[in-house]
Structure 1
Amino acid sequence: MEHKPRSSRKVPMQVLSLGLPRTGTASMQSALQTLGYNDTAHGFDMISHPEIGAPWMEAVQAKFLGHGKPYGRAEFDALLGNCAAVTDMPCACFWEELMAAYPDAKIILVERDIEDWFKSFEATAITELFSKVADVIVNYIEPLIGSQIGPMNRELVYGFFNAKTPDEVRQNARGVYQEHYRRIREVAPKERLLEYRLSEGWGPLCSFLEKEVPKGLPFPRINETAALKVKIREVQREKFKAASVALGRYLVPVAAVGIAMWYWYRK
């Protein structure tokens, strides 16, 4: 599938919010947009931009399977378009590459109690991504409609969590979570790093980003588990609808040929 970037880069990448999914990434996206980072990347982008599934698959296979060229500044510029900030997966899983590609960007590390995080992550990213319905979509519908979003997300989760099965993802999740935060704290320049929890509100975030605190606006708190499940159902409906259209293109000619052959044999 040909990938067309959402836009060419016209502004510098300014913020890398590298907390793992289910740590408030949707809330962070909303907060960053409120502060003026109008194009902030999030995993939900794939719903409105399914074409980015293919280049993300290239990046995932290069990083975790050693297939192809690893992504660098040029590739991320094309993939992320005009984003001034990033959050959520897949970006958080490419934290090293993004920090190298955008060395002047500020880094935000949002952390959550590990057991609360695991409960939310297990109920969404694991359970939903590897469900029976997801199997049908990944194995049959997405190849039919030319989408790589489902397969890419599965390869990303397996690669990032050093797993080959959903159960191994569960077993490895807490250790990988802790290592992710440890490594970023170890590598990120202290003057460009903000360790942050959503409960702290606007103050520390605005001070770090040198922005004024929005007047009269509470800090956004989005229920990510609920929001993700809504998005997943939306994606599933759209994919089944697209599959019906694609099947129609094949079935109509096949039916026409069948009718023609029936008439021919009747002669």
Structure 2
Amino acid sequence: MQRAFEILGYANPYHFSSMYGNVKDCDMWKEAFDAKYHGRGSFGKEQWDQLLGHCSAVTDFPCANFGPELMDAYPDARVVLVERNVDKWVESFGTLIKEAYHPTSTILGILDPTWMGRISSVGIAMIAAMTGQTTEKQIMLHARTSYEKHYQWVREEVRARSVPLLEYRLGDGWLPLCEFLGKEIPRDANGVEIPFPHMNEKDNIQAVFSVMARKSLGNVVRNVFAAACVLFLVAWISSKLAF
């Protein structure tokens, strides 16, 4: 949906991947999770503006963990609830969990705390918030129930605020989405309708984690090289001072 919003002209639609290029966002997301789920500190309109003020749309988690808070902060917003085939969602979610809890991700999070570690911590927090679980096995056992509860929760929160809601099913194309948002169906320079964006969730998740792992490994190598250079310099200076 992020790409669909971009095609419709929404600037900077926020997505989990938005943190990759601006990892400092992770610190604010952690503050938001701490405030909502652990009662530590507060996170209100000022903080949401700081985190998401440059965005004209938000998609995906962790934004979806904070539906009520975002509706309260931005009461003129509209909500698009994207429904998927539950079995397919569970399959792609399983791929996400497998990659997120893979030893490689864990090790890189430890060795690369300023990038991979920060992103991973937000990912783990949002999964725990959605499922109420913290282990890979228990998360998957509760995946289907968590999906159903999340959608019911969104409907109830939207209804309580009388916020406009579109229950959109993947595969419905542009028409219902454009009618709901008051947008024209997007067309290219020749007047041909632009295909609704689609990607294979499972393949995309695996590709994303692969790219993240390579970037994180590069960070680790640079950090190790820098540390080695510092140690060499310290040793060299010490040897000179000894004489």
Q: How high is the TM-score relative to the length of structure 2?
A: 0.89
* Alignment-derived partner of residue 83 in structure 1: 55
CA RMSD of aligned residues (A): 2.1
Q: Which runs of 5 or more residues in structure 1 are unaligned? A: 1-27
How far the C-alpha of 1:135 sits from its partner, in A, is: 1.0
How far the C-alpha of 1:42 sits from its partner, in A, is: 0.7
Does the alignment pair 1:110 with 2:82? yes
Contact 1:29 1:42 in 2 (8 A): yes
SS in structure 2 of the partner of residue 108 of structure 1? strand
How far the C-alpha of 1:160 sits from its partner, in A, is: 2.3
Q: How does 1:138-157 map to 2 (within 5 A)?
A: 138-142=109-113, 148-157=118-127
Contact 2:45 2:73 in 1 (8 A): yes
Of 18, 22, 33, the match for 1:60: 33
What's the % identity of the aligned pairs?
A: 33
* Alignment-derived partner of residue 145 in structure 2: 175
* Alignment-derived partner of residue 10 in structure 2: 37
Q: How does 1:92-111 map to 2 (within 5 A)?
A: 92-111=64-83
Contact 1:137 1:150 in 2 (8 A): no
SS in structure 2 of the partner of residue 127 of structure 1? helix
How far the C-alpha of 1:156 sits from its partner, in A, is: 2.1
- Per-residue Cα deviation, 1:33-90 (whole angstroms, up to 9, x for no partner): 1111121111111122222111111112222222222x22211110013101000111
* Between 217-226 and 130-139, the greater mean CA deviation after superposition: 217-226
Distance in 2, matches of 1:258 and 1:45, equals 41
Does the alignment pair 1:218 with 2:195? yes
Structure 1 residues 158 and 191, CA gap change in structure 2 (3 angstroms): closer
Distance in 2, matches of 1:263 and 1:37, equals 61
Q: How many residues align?
A: 236
Distance in 1, matches of 2:7 and 2:134, equals 39
* Alignment-derived partner of residue 132 in structure 1: 103
Matched to 1:59, the amino acid is A
Q: Which runs of 5 or more residues in structure 2 are unaligned? A: none
How far the C-alpha of 1:257 sits from its partner, in A, is: 3.4
Q: How does 1:182-221 map to 2 (within 5 A)?
A: 182-189=152-159, 192-215=164-187, 216=192, 217-221=194-198
How far the C-alpha of 1:225 sits from its partner, in A, is: 2.3
Q: How high is the TM-score relative to the length of structure 1?
A: 0.81
Distance in 1, matches of 2:31 and 2:130, equals 15
